[in-house]
Amino acid sequence: MKSWANRLRVRITVFAHDLAMVPVAWFLAYWLRFNLGEIPEPFHNAALTTLPLAILIQAGVFWGFGLYRGIWRFASLPDLARITKGVLVGTTLIFSTLFVLDRMQGVPRSVPLLYLVLQMLLLAGPRLLYRRLKDHRLALRDAQRVLIVGAGRAGEMLVRDMLRDPYSAYLPVALVDDKLHRRGSELQGIQIRGTTEEIPKLVEGLAVDLILLAIPSASTEQMQRLVDLCQRTGKPYRTVPKLRDLMAGQVSVSQVQPVCIEDLLGRNPIRLDLDGIRGCMENRVILVTGGGGSIGAELCRQIAALRPARLLVADNSEYNLYRIGMELQDTHPLVEIEHALLDVTDATAVRGLFRRARPQVVFHAAAYKHVPLLERQVCSAIRNNILGTQVVAQAADNFGCEEFVLISTDKAVHPINIMGATKRTAEILCQATFRHSRTRFETVRFGNVLGSAGSVVPLFQRQIERGGPVTITHPEIKRFFMTIPEACQLIMQAAAIGRGGEIFVLDMGEPIRISYLADQMIRLSGKIPHEDIAIEYIGLRPGEKLYEELFYESEDLTPTTHPKIRIARRGAIPEPEALAHNLARLQTGVGTCDEETMRAALGALIPELHDTLHGPQSGSGTSN
């Protein structure tokens, strides 16, 4: 209420100023007409008589043309345009009315032109002078000098937000933009000085303290280039959130944030068939196993936004289940959420859940995934990743589930480690189950996700926070990466287009060298690689490859309706008898902790494992 009253008071004050300028311009026009001498009495009387009419007409025109929408502090070209229109229309109406009334008796022919020019000066002049004085005061204040990259809507909003508060800690001194036609223009009085290539030169020449990247729609390639230019300056830099994360298109200084590794390695926004995905999820009972993990939790967030009839979140971690449950209740209070604290290897608990809740769509994300750790935890890896998948898949089949989606990994292709072998076996199991089931069994296979639990990104972050060294297994090691939200979007898209039996392979783009990832993370923390933070190469660990693959040579890749998703066809599947026999051997091996039996059964299911799973291996750490 107080803010509204202040705005009204300011508008009335400015309106009163503009009306006061009407008689000033009116009599000055007559005075100039008579060479700054005394105005003859007949003309003086005519001026006095017609002045009320001039004030009345001008007041209506000024208000009608919105001269009081703008703020004097930010007087700019739109404000000058409104003043020009208001003065032109007002002058025309005034003297047209006088002509109709008395043929403009007592009004010299030069007065209309003089009045128009004087009105322009008297209305625009004080506004520009006020702005100039305010800008001078701002320039003298103790604030960080900011260079804004991007002169679009986001850049204009940032400048406006900084200038609105005289006590702001930021002072915009220049903008840069790669659109050449914008060069030399101004936003809120701040000049666009050049292109982004000139960032290093402008930072030095203008004594810039901070660089703000105001391009929320920038692609990953553009962000990498801009960050490289900013890093050359040695000055800190920040960015606004991505376009999809901004609310209502508003951008303010409070939203700027450090550039994160996802900005540099994430890809351009994905176009989804939202109608198809919604049709698959809306008003259905959906189960997410491993719902408290990185992928599972993000799947729950995105599914909840699609208005399912009920969302079942299953996990064996009480804390993870509690955390995602509380989050979903806060963000989607109208969605019915049911928590299931269970282990997917507990057949009784899983069957009880399916019998009671009758899920129609299952996303099976529950899995152990830590490559070096699982090399020495063969029994746990097989129990959870293979037998757990078998339990949930059988329940889905027995209780008439419509669709079952297995979340797999690139490590399942030509696996040389326990984790990859268990996930490849889970793929085979789902494809085989589909042969005799009404449930549509599908697999979605992709590489590493940025920031997931146990991944290399959190490890590097901890090492950088400790002051290093950052440890990398091999200078040439590469991995596929995508963001967790992107992976989950494509998982749901695959579920929407699946017909059963497919292995969907997500387009992961080009693999990223882990040494580049480490280098960029160190630089984003404000440190210099090999100077402030050391990088050490410690050698490949057990079960680790230099390069990952997303499909077998024998799997024909065919396109789908979505450009980021392909189908791997014609993969080799063991005969049903052989599959059943070796699954039974795995069950027996897990029951007796007989590692030799388990490795032999895995080798029989996946022939290329014979040379790599011949015996126990040692090693620990986090997989790159």
Most confident residue range from 69-78, 542-551, 584-593: 584-593
Asked if residue 457 is part of any domain, the answer here is yes
Please write the tens of the pLDDT for every residue from 140-187: 456 788 898 988 888 888 888 787 766 677 888 889 998 887 877 777
Please check whether residues 455 and 341 belong to one and the same domain: yes
Please check whether residues 427 and 401 belong to one and the same domain: yes
Helix, strand, or coil (residue 470): strand
Question: In this predicted structure, what is the pLDDT of residue 74?
Answer: 43
Please check whether residues 356 and 404 belong to one and the same domain: yes
Task: Tell me if 480 sits within 8 A of 512, measured CB to CB.
Answer: yes
Write out the residue range of the structural domain in which residue 367 sits.
Answer: 284-462+480-574
- Count CB-CB contacts under 10 A for residue 277: 20
Asked if residue 9 is part of any domain, the answer here is yes
Please check whether residues 230 and 302 belong to one and the same domain: no
Domain count, the chain: 3
- Residue 61 φ then ψ, to 5°: -70, -45
pTM of the model: 0.67
Give alpha helix (H) positions in 383-417.
Answer: 388-398
Please check whether residues 174 and 94 belong to one and the same domain: no
Give alpha helix (H) positions in 525-564.
Answer: none
Please check whether residues 412 and 540 belong to one and the same domain: yes
Question: In this predicted structure, what is the pLDDT of residue 254?
Answer: 57
Asked if residue 264 is part of any domain, the answer here is no
Q: 535 forms bridges with which residues in the sheet?
A: 470
Asked if residue 604 is part of any domain, the answer here is no
Calculate the average pLDDT of the chain: 81
Please check whether residues 9 and 29 belong to one and the same domain: yes
Please write the tens of the pLDDT for every residue from 549-565: 766 666 777 888 888 88
Query: Which amino acid is present at 65?
Result: F
Asked if residue 470 is part of any domain, the answer here is no
Least confident of 74-78, 107-111, 218-222, 378-382: 74-78
Please check whether residues 504 and 405 belong to one and the same domain: yes
Please write the tens of the pLDDT for every residue from 127-145: 767 666 665 555 545 678 8
Asked if residue 206 is part of any domain, the answer here is yes
Nearest-angstrom CA–CA distance, 214 and 151: 8
Question: In this predicted structure, what is the pLDDT of residue 429?
Answer: 95
Average pLDDT on 488-500 reads: 89
Please check whether residues 242 and 194 belong to one and the same domain: yes
Task: Tell me if 589 sits within 8 A of 412, measured CB to CB.
Answer: no
Average pLDDT on 403-407 reads: 96
Please check whether residues 293 and 423 belong to one and the same domain: yes
Q: Which residues contact 62 (CB under 8 A, 6 or more apart)?
A: 15, 18, 19, 68, 86, 90
Please check whether residues 457 and 381 belong to one and the same domain: yes
Please write the tens of the pLDDT for every residue from 317-350: 999 999 999 999 999 999 999 999 999 999 999 9
Q: What is the Rg, in whole angstroms, of the alpha carbon atoms belonging to the chain?
A: 35
Asked if residue 178 is part of any domain, the answer here is yes
List the CATH number of the domain containing 235.
Answer: 3.40.50.720
Question: In this predicted structure, what is the pLDDT of residue 404?
Answer: 97
Please write the tens of the pLDDT for every residue from 218-259: 777 888 888 889 888 888 888 877 655 544 455 555 567 777
Asked if residue 223 is part of any domain, the answer here is yes
The residue with tokens 């900005």 is 263
Please check whether residues 513 and 544 belong to one and the same domain: yes
Question: In this predicted structure, what is the pLDDT of residue 567?
Answer: 86
